Structure 1
Amino acid sequence: MKWTYSIEQKIKAALSLGIVFVLVMATNLIDRNHFSELQESFSSVYKDRLLVENYIFKLSGFIHQKHMLLHTSAANKMSSKDQQKINQAIDTLLIDYEKTKYTAKETRLFDEFKTELLDVRELEERFQTDSTSTELRSEIEKKHLQLIALLEGLSNIQMEEGGKLINQSIGVINTSHSISRIEIIILICIGLFAQALVLASKSLKPKKPQNFNLN
């Protein structure tokens, strides 16, 4: 019967609209999640990688200052005032560094760096009272080189982890684009289906009867 067919068509149309509604809601939630992931990723690149790279650069500069101070004309005196100023600046950077997120490898290198730094400070204090000791000077120089090597290792980690975060962001963007394409395809299919329903309903309408009484 025509009326049952009409009800069936209306149910199909309602289901189509329901699918569109669910699809729009689902993609909206997915897009929000992707946006949050991108925000977190970019924030981590800045806070945990770019800023840390800047801390490492400054720490490297202070270690070089220590090294130069050891070989200046006043090296025999090893000014405690200069050493204190450099150590305070290093401590400030270390506090900032500790507020960031580490990888397991980064934690190991950073802990090793802090341990070596304490050893260097003890040697420098001894050198202030025994500035003629070439053996002590040589030991301090070796420690300085170890500290620089550890900082280089930490710097390499920032590059590696920064690259991973960027690749992760690109992956999220590509996934979002793919979902958008699928959404467009589904909407086109539903639109064609709805159009077919409209055309089918028009074909069911009775044609206007002709008036045979006209001359």
Structure 2
Amino acid sequence: MTVYNKVKWVLGILMVFFLILTTNLIDRNSFSKVKDSVVSIYEDRLIAKNLILKLSALIHEKELALAKKDSSFFNERNTTVNAEIKLLLNSYQQTSLTKEEQDAFSSLKSKIEALMSDEANNEPKALLYSKSESLQKKTHAIKDVLISLSEIQLKEGQRQMLISQRELDMVELFTHIEVYVLVLLAIIIQVVVLYQPKKS
């Protein structure tokens, strides 16, 4: 095999190697984005949605106690409910929040703090009678913010799914391009290797 043929072989193999390396790096980057997106959907959307559901249930418990004029709830259970709400708020704060979500969450926290402050500063009898209407308005306002947060979870989950889909489409496109280029390179290498220049 002449030096010229060896150089042709080496160049052909290097071209294939760099093509595969480049597409591999692009694929790796795309798969990393898909992985991050899937993790985000679970950690920052599904877990947050679950926390919102639990918060809603606890606020609903307060609403029912107010509607039923249940003094035993405010004497016995309310302290536990408030402790659970604080834990859930703390867990929610650990998730990755968008700007819109951060604003809604800050509003939620301030509304819950106002509700708890009213509960702490009044006797159960006052809460159930003279303050009942005010507390019901506060619980309704809290539920409205929880609904907003729930809608944000859905919107952000859809956005993450679109990111995943776009990256997977990119991987598929590059895989097709890679196959076509490899076929083309194989043909070129065959032509180069098998081509025998005419001897004069």
- Flag whether TM exceeds 0.5 (same fold): yes
1:131 to partner: Cα distance: 4.4
Picking from 165, 169, 174, the partner of 2:164 is 169
- Contact 2:70 2:128 survives alignment (8 Å): no
Identity value in percent: 29
**Does residue 56 of the first structure (1) align with residue 76 of the second (2)?**
no
**Contact 2:34/2:167 (<8 A) preserved:** yes
Mapped contact 1:48–1:101 kept (Cα < 8 A): yes
Give the corresponding residue for 2:37.
Answer: 41
Give the SS at the match of 1:101.
coil
| 1:138 matched residue in structure 2 | 133
* Structure 1 length-normalised TM: 0.85
Q: Distance in 1 between matches of 2:173 and 2:179?
A: 10
Counterpart AA for 1:200: Y
Q: In the alignment, residue 137 of structure 2 is paired with which amino acid?
A: K
* 1:9-158 equivalent positions in 2, closer than 5 A: 9-75=5-71, 79-125=74-120, 126-128=122-124, 130-131=126-127, 133-134=129-130, 136-158=131-153
How big is each residue's C-alpha offset from its partner over 1:93-134, in whole Å with a ceiling of 9 and x where there is no partner? Answer: 111111100011100110110101011112223252524644
Which residue is 2:180 aligned to? 185
Cα pair 2:119 2:127 within 8 Å, conserved: no
RMSD: 2.0
More relative contact order, 1 or 2 (CA 8 Å, 6+ apart): 2
Indicate if the aligned counterparts of 1:78 and 1:127 stay in contact, CA closer than 8 A. no
CA pair 16-23 structure 1, distance change in 2 beyond 3 A: same
Structure 2 letter corresponding to 1:171: R
Please give the alpha-carbon distance, in whole angstroms, between the structure 2 residues aligned to 1:191 and 1:124: 78
TM-score (norm 2): 0.91
* CA spacing shift, 1:150–1:168, aligned 2, 3 Å: same
- Measure how far apart 1:204 and its partner are: 5.5
* Structure ID, larger Rg: 1
Stretch of structure 1 that moved more, 47-56 or 87-96: 87-96
Runs of 4+ aligned residues of structure 1 deviating over 6 Å after TM superposition are none
Indicate how the Cα distance of structure 1 residues 132 and 103 shifts in structure 2: closer, same or farther if over 3 A, else same: closer
Helix, strand or coil: the match of 1:130?
A: helix
Name the CA shift for 1:197/1:78 in 2 (closer, same or farther; >3 Å). Answer: closer
Distance in 1 separating the partners of 2:127 and 2:18:
78
CA distance in 2, matches of 1:64, 1:148: 8
- The amino acid across from 1:34 in the alignment is S
